Each structure stands twice: as C-alpha cells, then as structure tokens.
Structure 1
Amino acid sequence: MTMGAEIRSANETRDALPWWEQRWFLALVVAATMIPLLYPRIPPLVDLFGHIGRYRVELDLDRSPFLQQYYGYHWALIGNLGVDVLVYILGPIMGIEPAVKAIVLSIPPLTAIGFLWVAREVHGRVPPTAFFALPFIYGFPFMFGFVNFTLSVALAFLAFGLWLRLGRLEYTKLRSWLFVPISLIVFFCHTYGWGLLGLMCFSADAVRLHDRGRSWWRAGLEAALHCSVMLLPLLVMLIWRSETHGGGVTGWFEWQQKWRWLYSALRDRWEVFDKISLGFAVFVFLFAIFNRKLTLSRNLAFSAIVLAVSFAILPKIIFGSAYADMRLVPYLFAVALLAIRFKGPTDVRLGHVLAVVGLLFFAGRTAANTASLGIAAADQNAKLEAIDHMERGARVASFFALPCTLWWPLPRNSHIGGIVIERREGFSNDHWLMEGVNLMELRYTAPGSFAYDPSEVVRPNLCHDGLHRQIDQALREVPKDKFDYIWLNDVGEYDPALVADMHEVWRGPGSVLYRTKP
C-alpha cells in the first residue's frame, strides 16, 4: 500500500467513527470542562484560599520580615507537594494568584483526558456513556479545594491509561521501568492519588491475566508482582512518617458518615439538584446493567469494586489528613460509569441517544457549576475588598459561621483569611497545624488556640457543637491585643457590646472589618 493509500485509509476510518468519537469533538468536550473556572479570579474552592496563603510563605519567606515573624517553611519529601511545587516554579513568573488559577484550571481537562483515555483503552473506542462520568470531575473533593489530591488523581488516570495501553501491547517490561518514576511523581503530588493508581492498576491487571487463563489467585499474585514496581514511595513514606509525630489514623467504619459521603459525591450549592444529578447517574448505571444491549467491562467493573471495598475499609483520617475515604467516592462513580459499553457492535440508534443524554447531563452540571462558582466568586470579590484596608503585615482574626444544622452549600468563605497572608504578608488564624501534612509551620503562637484552624469557624449563638465556638464566645475570648483586625464574614447576629471597643474600618455584603486598636 502506498503512503497516499494509507493516509486515505486512515482518514476513512476516522470519518467512519460516530460523531461523539471524533477527535475534534472530544477536544471540545475536554476544553468545556474548564468553563466553570474561567470567570473567577481565584477559583472559589473551600480550602484553596488557605493554601494560597501558604504559597506566599513558600515563595517570599526569605524576603519578608513580616512573614518571618509569623511562619516558617521547610521543604521536605512528603506525599503532598503537587501544586506547591508548580507554584514555586510558576509563581515568580506569573504571580501567585494567576499561577494558582492556571494550575487549578488544568486539573479538570487533564482528568477528562484520563477518563476518556481509560475508556478508549478498555473498550477499544470511546463509548457514548463515557460522558456521564465527566461531571464527577467537579465532585466533592475538587470543590472542597483538595487541589494536590485532585491533581494527583488527574495524573493517576493518565498513568492508568498508559498502564492499560502498554499492557495491551505486551510492553510489560517497558511498563515496569516507566512506572517507577511515574509512581513517584504521582506520590509526591499526593499520597492518595498514588494509592488510587495502585488500586486501579492492580485490579485491571488481575482481570487481564485471568482472561488469559490464570486462576484468580494466580492472576492476583502476578498483578501484585507487576504493581510492585510502584512500591518505592513506601520507602519514602516510612522515612517521612518516622520524622514526624502525631497525625493518627481515626474514624474507622463510620457508616452514617460514609453514607453521607456517597450521596454528597456531587455536592456543590443546590442540594436537590445535586442529589437528583447523582441519582440520575446511578439510574444510568442500573440501566446499563439491565439493558440487553449494554454490559460492563469486567476490567473497570472490577476496578470499581476494588475502589468500593477500599472506600468501606478506609478511615476518615489518615496521618492527620481528613476525608481519606470521602475522596474516593466521585472517582468510584466515574469508574463505574466508564465501565459501561455495548455487548456487541455499537447500536447506532441507542448510541446517539446515550451520547446526547450524556452530553446534556454534562452540560447541565457544567452550567450549574459555572453559576455556583460565579456566585461564590462575586461574593468573595466583594468581601476581599476588606483587605485593601489592612496594612502590610497585619495580624487578622477572621471568623465565619457554619449554620446550626447540616448545611448543603459548601462553606466557601471559611478560609478567606488566607488571602491576608498572600496579599498583605500578614497573619491569619486559619492555617492547618498538621505535622507532616504540609510544609508551613506556625511561629506566632501568642493568640493560643486562636492562632490556627479551626478557630476561624464559629457557630451561631443558638447552637454549639463541641468543636467550634459560638460567635459571641469567640468575640469575647479572642485576645484582641494579639491581633490588629477582627474580620467577620457571614457570622449572623452577634452582641454589639462585644465589638464596642473596636473601630469599624469597613463594611461590605455580609462582611465587616474591625480594628482592635485606635
């Protein structure tokens, strides 16, 4: 066959693909995953504002006498470095906030490419049902601002696609060499992403080997042996944990909480819509099981089962890092949906219907996430004007109130004080003190328990949960002589006598800034 004939043959094959498998169309879908993050100057993800404060310390501690009074920073090889390293590279070039936005903006499309690549490797093509998995990119962990983790998940799915491809092509020796550094990269991005990668690779290889005639026991042993090339991070973890103290493992088998994590997989702002969306995804999965034209890939179905068992076994907190089990949930649903395929050749009519419905589901969730993040960004932009009234190096105690009852909308302003560190080289009382989990340490301890998380979170005066202070209690007990400002955000009603000795500097929507000294 001549070169021209080969090109014509390739073009004919590509043109024969259904519209939902065309590369240009998939590229548009991948690009569309970025839409919810385009408007906000800072992605309004719950914990991200606290992380941004840490990035300022990371970059400018040596040059800022203010930051040196309040914080320390020591680089170490820990499994939680993903965005920190990228900001260290890009921050001096772009500025911290643009660098953070660019990095966070890259996570959804990278994850989408990983999802679609895995589906392509497992099914030999991209099934129309793959679009139902895409909304889970904006799941609870991403919306909560676990950016190191979600970046590691994006890399894990990309690596998983490569693992599947090299296994399919019988390049297992090359795969073994490549996945030594790949596993280290994913691990240093975040430990949990490395764990997710290992689980998916093990389960996929076990099914592949069983399909080739091994018994399940032998397939499992061989799969474990193949995955052993990704165990080098265990050595790093042992060294890392031997140099730290505290941060235990707690929250085993809290079934009521696990149930809550399951139905919160798409939690964002509107409870009914978010739950209906999840219910619809579950309906699609059940439809695939009972429809005679559809089935599940044994490869990805087994991966989903392994993730489900891991979710059931994992505790809530590992080495001081919270929500260990919750983080798996959206990706468990995504893998289950990616497992759906046609039993035989694609039924074109059903394929069109599933592709259109899947894209409508993706578009609906994208529109809702875009609106939700836009609302949050506008609210935060208005509140962040308070920082313009603070001097450089200001010490700020910020307070944000959680409602008395379980509240579905995410508490997006709970770590807004982190921007005080980033924009004013100041002190904020919302930093996490978890040894071995992040690299920033607290030097300014004069405020006592008001110096760190969760002192920034309060409750209304009518309720108390044993962990957080009531707003009046916080205003009464906060050591005002240790702070220059008290910044209240969405705290509701409080006793005006408790702020009578302070000067109101600025007031905005749901926000007020008081100076503690004349």
Structure 2
Amino acid sequence: MIVRGDLLDRRWMIALLAFAAAIPLIWPPIPPLVDLLGHMGRYRIQTAIQDVPSLAAAYSFHWKLVGNLGVDLLMVPMAKLFGIELGTKLIVLAIPPLTVAGMLWTAREVHGRVPPTALFALPLAYPYPFHFGFINFSLSVAFAFNLLALWIRTGRTGRIGFRAAVFVPLSCLLWLTHMVGWGLLGLSAFGTELVRRHRGGEPLFRAAMTAGITCAALALPLLPMILLRSHSPEAATFDWFNLEAKSVWMSSLLRDRWQMLDVLSAWAIFLVIGIAAIRRRLDPLLAVPALLCLAAFVLMPRVANGSAYADMRLLPFTCAVALLAIRSEGRWIAIAAAAFFLGRLAATTASFLLYDQSFRGELHALDRLPRGASVLSLVVRPCGSGWSTERLDHLPALAIVRRDAFSNDQWVVDSAQGLRVIKPNVGRYGADPSQLIYPNGCRGEGSDLSRSVQEFDRAAFDHVWVLNGRVSAPDLQPVWSNGHSTLYQVIRERKSG
C-alpha cells in the first residue's frame, strides 16, 4: 500500500508520486491557468517577431535582465522544437512533478526517510499561485525545493566548500527563474543552517552569524537587483500589512473551483500543522525555515516592485515546508494523508477537464479570424470576486499564438519584461487590463463595454471579440458566435472614386 512508510522510501514510489502529480495536466492541450494564456502570447511575440510582419508592426520586444525569466528563456528552444502551445504544455506539465520530487527529497534529507505525513504537502504542488498562472514563480518553487534538499544534504555530509561553489551559479539561475523563489530558498537555507550549527553546539547568536556567512553563496543576485532596479512608476511597492487580504490568502491556499472543498482542504492543512506543533512533532530543521517564511508572508506587501499578490505567493511554500517538518507515524495518519493527496488530485483533474471544455468552445472563434488580424478583445467578467472564474481573462492571447494577431491583453510592465505595444491608434485599448469588462459601478481595473464599442478606433482594429457578452453597432458584423460569445468584423466604409 502507498501508506506504508517503507514504500515511501523506495525510489520507484517517489517517482510514481511525482508522475501522479502531472495527471491533471495530461489531457488539456492548453494548461487552464489564468495568466499563463497571456504569457503564451508573449512567448509567440518574443520567438517570432523577427519573422512575422504583423507582430513586428504591433509589438516591440527586447530582452532585459530581470528575476522573472524562467519559462520565457526555456521557451526559446522549446518553441523551435515543439511550437508555442506544446512547448508551454510540456514545461508546465513538468512543474508539479518537480515540486513533488523536491518536497519528498527534502523530507527524506531531514528525517532520514519520507514520513507518511509528507503526503499532506503534495497537493501544494497545485496552490492558488499556480492556478493563477504565476508560472515563472511556480517553476522557481519547484527548483527551490530541490535546491533546499541539496543544501541540507551537502551540509549534513560536510561538503561545505562544494556547496558554496555549486550554489553560486545555482542561486543565480534560480533568481533568473523568479526572484521570489530565490528569496524563499535563501530564508530556508539560512534557517536549516542555523539549526544545524546550533545542534552542533554553537551558541545561538554565533550560529546565526555563521549561517549568514555561509548563505553568502546565495547572495550574488543582489547585485543585479540593486544595479538594475527599475525606477518606473509601474515598479511601485505598496499595500503593506493588509491583514484582510492575508486572511483571504489563507483560505485560498488551494483555491480552484469548489469553494467549500478548497477552504476545507486549506484548513485541514492548518489543522495538521497546528496539531503537530502542539505535540512537538515538528523537526526544527524545517520548522525554523517555515517560521522565517511565515514572517516574510506577514511582512511582505501585497504589491512589490510592481508585482501583485507578492505576499500570497509565499504561503503555499511556507505551509509545505511546515508539513514536511512533521515527524509522525501511524497507520491512520498515513491513510488520511494518502486520501487527502489522492482526493485533491482527483478534484484538480476534474476541474481542469471542465476548464478545457470551456476553452474549446471559445477558441472556435479563431477559425474565423484572418491571420495577422487586429482584435479588440473584451472579456466580460461578473461584478465581485467570486471564488472561481472561467479563466478567460487572457484567452484572447491565443489569437496571437495561433493567428499572429494583435490582441489588447498583453502586459506592459517595465519591471517585469521587455514587451511594448507600438501599434498606432490603439489609445487606451493597447494592453492589459483594457480587455477586462466589468458592469457599471463594479470595482475592477478594466473597461466599460458600451463605451469601448463606441470609442475604439476603427482604423486600429478590424475585429472585436466579446467573450461572455454581446454588443451592437452598425459597423460590427458577427462572423462567429457560440451563443454567449461573439466575434465581430469591423465593416469599414469604402471610399468612392
């Protein structure tokens, strides 16, 4: 049985658990992650802009050194080998297995074996930031778990010099993937080194100083962070100590589709950690890193350097490290942990199948879109922040991927990437969030549907794609509809003579 402790120590079982984590992503050809769809549009631009005139006329792209390039860089060879869609899927498909493998390796290095309670952590390979499509960050977390295991192993075996040598380049690569993953590794590595040295007999203060010096091997990425810091207004940092938002992030730990299931799952994780803490079953080697990451979650603002949800991203890693710190046995605990993992896996698989079905119904519109078209994308969203959405916010970016079209859903953030919109006459309908439509009087950054249809420049757009809504204008002719979304062609007046 999977719950037997000796089976969890077998390499084939660890590999089986890692591969099982990929199950939800196997069927959908496009991973149904909110922001990922927009990123796919950028991947097409960055890899094809030199060869596709319609993209070169609408966008400019220049590589820049930022700590947020993991999948962007991987897509350069992957797009050539597999194309944008399959290349993206293969990379995303690898992230949960890499995360699970890193979790189990970390647990084994700390406890000498994989305790059954480690299975409680495995659903956190699909946390809310992953569903949100923070894909560079999610890849960095997968790398961070594996690097943390390697850090602990090399420290335990006394290979300190070797560790310092290999972690200088590895930490730089991790920062390049995403700086938050690098920060989480730094906190965790410091915490494990502090505990290891204190256990070895060093006084606490001296152990902390020595641990800090040891972690200097991870500090090289501080140089580009300081020297290349953006001073753009978009790179602002604000919304500190938003306790209301942080309480929402706690309930949203595994947020996906079914609110009651997701909230109960989150609080089951907190209950397991709480019981283990009360019964003193947490190994300090991981408990201290979890506390450091928890402090970072509390202190981190909601928006850091122009990146939203900065604090929310830290919580799943923090909880996973705390769960991996638990040293507990017992048949019923093992059964409960296995059931929790398999139940969440089944729920995520079913959810992704439903999202895939929805995507397929919408993407038939692209069959009627000419190559190189210019599309005003308008995604109608409900008022308020429901637990789940249809994840259509950036679906129009597939027009870029499949039809080399212009779509107004791309991010233009100086601190994050080097994409710019250069298409003339688009006005306020050039970039995200202009594609998002909210009802009048509803909070949300975006546009007004009727106003957008009235004022957009007909010289800049030849098609209007309205998802989850309809519009009416004398110069908009429907060319496709599935009953609730419609693609319109702009009918321009022909000049006589």
TM-score (structure 2 length as normaliser): 0.95
**Alignment of 1:394 onto 2:373:** yes
Cα deviations by residue, 1:340-367 (Å, 9 ceiling, x for unpaired) = 103xxxx5xx1x2222211111111111
Which structure 2 residues correspond to residues 257-276 of structure 1 after superposition, within 5 A? Answer: 257-276=245-264
**Alignment of 1:488 onto 2:476:** no
1:254 is aligned with what amino acid?
A: N
1:479 is aligned with what amino acid?
A: D
Matched with 1:4 is none
What SS does the aligned partner of 1:296 have?
coil
**Alignment of 1:471 onto 2:457:** no
2:452 is aligned with what amino acid?
A: A
Q: Is the 8 A contact 1:458 1:474 kept in 2?
A: no
Q: Is the 8 A contact 2:384 2:443 kept in 1?
A: no
Cα deviations by residue, 1:179-223 (Å, 9 ceiling, x for unpaired) = 000001101111111111101101111111111122222111111
Structure 2 residue aligned with 1:67, among 55, 58, 61?
A: 55
Residues 433-442 or 278-287, more deviating: 278-287
Q: How many residues align?
A: 489
**Alignment of 1:179 onto 2:167:** yes
Q: Is the 8 A contact 1:144 1:410 kept in 2?
A: no
Q: Distance in 2 between matches of 1:460 and 1:404?
A: 6
Matched with 2:484 is 510
Q: Is the 8 A contact 1:383 1:509 kept in 2?
A: no
**Alignment of 1:250 onto 2:259:** no
Q: What runs of 5+ residues in structure 1 fail to find an aligned partner? A: 1-15
Matched with 2:495 is none
Matched with 1:32 is 20
Cα deviations by residue, 1:480-507 (Å, 9 ceiling, x for unpaired) = 432111111124xx6x5x4343100000
Matched with 1:287 is 275
Matched with 2:352 is 373
Q: Is the 8 A contact 2:140 2:177 kept in 1?
A: yes
Following superposition, the deviation at residue 445 of structure 1 comes to 4.6
Cα deviations by residue, 1:53-105 (Å, 9 ceiling, x for unpaired) = 11111111111111110111111221111111111011111111111000000
Q: Is the 8 A contact 2:64 2:417 kept in 1?
A: no
What SS does the aligned partner of 2:235 have?
coil
Structure 1 residue aligned with 2:294, among 290, 294, 308?
A: 308
Which structure 2 residues correspond to residues 332-371 of structure 1 after superposition, within 5 A? Answer: 332-342=318-328, 347=329, 350=330, 352-371=331-350
**Alignment of 1:323 onto 2:309:** yes
**Alignment of 1:501 onto 2:480:** no
Note closer, same or farther for the CA distance 1:466–1:154 as it changes in structure 2 (3 Å cut).
closer
1:269 is aligned with what amino acid?
A: R
Matched with 2:433 is 454
1:305 is aligned with what amino acid?
A: L
1:456 is aligned with what amino acid?
A: Q
Q: Is the 8 A contact 1:50 1:431 kept in 2?
A: yes
Matched with 1:97 is 85
Q: Is the 8 A contact 1:46 1:410 kept in 2?
A: no
Q: What runs of 5+ residues in structure 2 fail to find an aligned partner? A: 493-497
TM-score (structure 1 length as normaliser): 0.91
Q: Is the 8 A contact 2:424 2:460 kept in 1?
A: no
Q: Is the 8 A contact 2:379 2:466 kept in 1?
A: yes
Matched with 2:205 is 217
What SS does the aligned partner of 1:469 have?
coil
Matched with 1:106 is 94
Q: Is the 8 A contact 2:384 2:442 kept in 1?
A: no
Q: Distance in 2 between matches of 1:75 and 1:289?
A: 46
Q: Is the 8 A contact 1:481 1:516 kept in 2?
A: no
Matched with 2:113 is 125
